[in-house]
Amino acid sequence: MEKVKIEKNTVQETLIIPLYGRKMCAEKFPELYNDVFAERLCERLDYDFSELEKKKKSFIYQFGALEAAMRQLDIMWEINNYLAKHPKATVVNLGCGLDETGKACDNGTCSIVNIDFPDVISVREQLISAYDREKNIACDLNDYSWMDKVDGSNGVIFFAAGVFHYFKTEEVKSLALELSKRFPGACLVFDSVGKLALKLMMAAVIKNMGISDVEGYFYVNNPAKDLNWSKKIKVTSKGYMLGYYDMKSPGIHFLHRLLAKIGDKGMKMYIHRMDFE
C-alpha cells in the first residue's frame, strides 16, 4: 500500500502528534490502553518521526501521551454507556482529525459520523477507510449545516476531544444549545481545562496566532456555574485523568499518578457530559 506523505509545518502535521502519542501510549502502557488504529495509521505515513522518537523517553512527553490516552478512554466509556441504552444511535466525532474512536466503540449496529475542516477530511479519506455505517462530513463546526446530515432518530452522542480549547466560550455555548434544541435525548461529551491550564497550554499557539490573551477562549473553572446554560441540559463532570480509571497499571509511575491528581484538581481537567432533555 502506498504511503501518504506528510510535510513539515502543515495542517496535516498537527494531526500526527496526537496520533503518535496514542501509538506510544499503547506501546508503553498496554494493560491500560490499546489503539491498533493509531499503530496502523503511523505505518501508512511517509513522515519523519525522528523528533518524536527522541522524546519517547521523556517523562513529561510520556505524561502528555498518557493524558491523550486517558481522555480517549474516558470518552469511550461515555460512548459505550450511551450505546448500551441506544444501540442504534449515531456516534458523532466533532473535530475528528485522524481519530478513530467511533470505530473503537462500534457495536455492530450504531452509525458513525466524523466531522472536520475540508483539508483535514481530505487527509483522513486518503488514510482511513470508512465502515459501511460510517460517513465523513467536511464542514466547520460553527457552520451548523452539518447538523442536517446527522440522523438522531435512534439517539445520538456527540463528542469532542481536545477541540473546544480553540473555540470561544460563546461558540461552545451556542453549539451546545443548538444541539440540545435539535436533538432531544442526545448527549454531548467533551473535555476542558481551567483558565491557568489553558494559558499554559495555549502559550505557543497564541504566540503563533498573534493573540495576546486567552480571554474569551473556552475554559471551565467551576462546571456547575460555568456550564449552567439551560434548564434542559443536565451536566455531569468527572476528573479527566482519575475520574474514570485509577491508573494503577504496570509501567505507570507513581509520579504520573501524582501529576494526574494535580491535573484534575489544580489544572481543573474535566470530562463533561451534557444530556439534552
Global pTM value: 0.93
Flag whether 268 is in a domain: yes
CATH of residue 200's domain is: 3.40.50.150
Task: Tally the domains of the chain.
Answer: 1
- Answer whether 83's CB lies under 8 Å from 107's CB: yes
Residue range(s) defining the domain that contains residue 160? 74-276
pLDDT digits (tens, 9 = 90+) for 204-259: 555 555 555 667 889 999 999 999 999 999 999 999 999 999 998 888 888 999 99
Instruction: Give the H/E segment covering residue 233.
Output: strand 233-239
End-to-end CA separation in angstroms for the chain: 47
Gyration radius (Cα) of the chain, Å:
18
Q: Which three cell numbers stand for residue 170?
A: 460563546
- How confident is the model at residue 89, as a pLDDT? 98
Instruction: Give the H/E segment covering residue 192.
Output: strand 187-192
Flag whether 139 is in a domain: yes
Flag whether 99 is in a domain: yes
- How confident is the model at residue 1, as a pLDDT? 65
Flag whether 51 is in a domain: no
- How confident is the model at residue 252, as a pLDDT? 87
pLDDT digits (tens, 9 = 90+) for 26-70: 988 888 898 989 989 999 999 999 888 888 888 888 888 888 889
Flag whether 34 is in a domain: no
